[in-house]
Amino acid sequence: MRTVEAIYQNGVLKPVEALNLAEHARVKLVLLLVEEDIPTVALHELAAQSGSFEFLADPREDVYSLEDGEPA
């Protein structure tokens, strides 16, 4: 996944940099207006929907136990 800035002009999104995609390649877009600040809850929901945190379900990521560290 990557972030690309684009300008909306005459009904078309125009990337400000080359995308290096094959002709007719299909992509999914998540639109974030540059001048808007996304609320934390919305950002968390977006990350959850995109699968950004799915790697945390992998048992190999569970590297800490109750015996590690000190209670807070």
Output the pLDDT for position 64.
Answer: 80
Q: Which residues pair with 12 in a beta bridge?
A: 9
Question: Structure tokens of 40?
Answer: 């934390």
Interior angle at CA 59, CA 57 and CA 54, nearest 5? 20
Domain range summary for the chain, segments of one domain joined by +: 26-62
User: Which burial class, exposed, middle or buried, applies to 17 when counting CB atoms under 10 A from its CB (0-12, 13-18, 19+)?
Assistant: exposed
How many Å apart are CA 4 and CA 13, to the nearest integer?
11
Q: Express each pLDDT in 10-22 by its tens digit.
A: 999 999 999 999 9
Q: Express each pLDDT in 7-51 by its tens digit.
A: 999 999 999 999 999 999 999 988 888 776 778 888 888 888 888
pTM for this structure? 0.42
